[in-house]
Amino acid sequence: MLDQITPLILTYNEAPNIARTLESLRWANEVVVVDSFSTDDTAAIAASFPNVRVVQRAFDCHCNQWNFGLKETSIKTPWVLALDADYIITADLVNELRSLQPAEATAGYRARFIYCISGKRLHSGIYPPVTVLYRRANATYIQDGHTQRVAIDGQIEELQSPMLHDDRKPLRRWFESQKRYTKLEAQKLRAANPAELNLVDRMRRWPLIVPPLALFYCLVVRAGIFDGWAGFYYAFQRTTAELMLSLYLIENRRSN
C-alpha cells in the first residue's frame, strides 16, 4: 500500500528535526512539505531530498495550514500520512504500512507514540495516540483548543507499530510553544461544559492540582525515574506545562 500514501508535513524552523523525519520517509514516492516561510534551513534541507516537494504558505493557523496541505497541494494518492516534523517512522511501521489492506469502511488509522528525548526512548511518555493515516477524501481539519484535529468520515482502526516523537529544537522554542498552547487550552477549558470533559480535563480546570500529579505520574506511575536524566527532563517539562496552564486559568478568573 506504500504507493497509495503521500506523507504530508507542516514545518516552520524545523532544521533540528526535519532531516531525520525525511530520512524515515525515503520509501515514499512523494512527500509534501508545507512550510510557513521558515527563516532557518528547513526548506533547503527538505528540498535536498529527491522525493520531497516543498510548498510555502504564510501561516495563519494550524487548522487552515493542514487543510491547505490536504486539499490544495495537488496530492494525487488516496491516502495521506499526516506528520509533525518531529515524528519518525520506524522500520516496523513501514512494514506494517506496506502490508495494510484496509476494508472499504476503514477511513483512517490511529498510531501510538514512543516519546524520545535526544533519541532516548522513554517509558514515561504520555503523548496521546493520533490519527495519522487517512483517506484524503474523507478528512478535514478543525480547531480544538490549542491544537487541531482531523475529522474523519468513516471507521478508525489502530496501527500496531508505534511512531517515535523526537523533538530536538532548543528549550527556548519549547517555552515559546507552550506559552501559546497553554493560553489557548485555558480558554478552551474555561469555556467548556464540565460535564462534557473527561476526568483529566475536569481536574485541569482547578489550578495547581494537576502539576504535582503530573510529576508523580511521569516519574513514578510511568517509571520515568528509570529513564535517567531524560526521564526527569520530560517530567519537569510536563509539570511546567501544567503550571503554565494553571497560571492562565487563574489569570482568566481574575479578569472575569
Grade residue 256 by pLDDT with cuts at 50, 70 and 90: low
Does residue 253 surpass a pLDDT of 70? yes
Model pLDDT, residue 145: 60
Both 44 and 148 in a single domain? yes
Model pLDDT, residue 252: 80
Cα(112)–Cα(114) distance, rounded to whole angstroms?
A: 7
Does residue 27 surpass a pLDDT of 90? yes
Both 93 and 12 in a single domain? yes
Question: What cell does 68 get?
Answer: 491547505
Both 148 and 221 in a single domain? no
Q: What is the CATH number of the domain that holds 123?
A: 3.90.550.10
Q: What predicted TM-score, i.e. pTM, was given to this entire model?
A: 0.90
Both 210 and 160 in a single domain? no
Cα(185)–Cα(208) distance, rounded to whole angstroms?
A: 15
Both 115 and 209 in a single domain? no
CB within 8 A of 59, min separation 6: which ones? 12, 36, 37, 65
Cα(176)–Cα(167) distance, rounded to whole angstroms?
A: 14
Both 211 and 151 in a single domain? no
- Sign for the CA dihedral angle at 24, 76, 61, 111 comes to negative
Q: Greater confidence, 53 or 143? A: 53
Both 213 and 98 in a single domain? no
Mean pLDDT of the chain: 94
Grade residue 74 by pLDDT with cuts at 50, 70 and 90: very high
Which domain range does residue 82 map to?
A: 2-165
Percentage of the chain lying above the pLDDT 70 cut: 98
Does residue 90 surpass a pLDDT of 90? yes
Grade residue 245 by pLDDT with cuts at 50, 70 and 90: very high
Residue type (1 letter), 96: E
Q: Residues 151, 141: contact at Cβ < 8 Å?
A: yes
Model pLDDT, residue 147: 67
- Boundary (domain end) residue, out of 132, 165, 198: 165
Model pLDDT, residue 146: 57
For residue 144, the SS3 value is strand
| Furthest-apart CA atoms within the chain: distance in Å | 55
Closest CA to 238 of 215, 220, 204, 216: 215
Does residue 200 surpass a pLDDT of 70? yes
**pLDDT average, residue stretch 179-193:** 88
In the DSSP assignment, the letter for residue 100 is: -
Grade residue 149 by pLDDT with cuts at 50, 70 and 90: confident
User: How many of the other CB atoms lie within 10 Å of CB of 210?
Assistant: 22
- Boundary (domain end) residue, out of 148, 165, 182: 165
Closest CA to 231 of 125, 129, 128: 125
The total domain count for the chain is 2
In the DSSP assignment, the letter for residue 223 is: -
Compute CA distances 69 → 65, 110, 181, 226, whole Å: 6, 19, 22, 40
Does residue 66 surpass a pLDDT of 80? yes
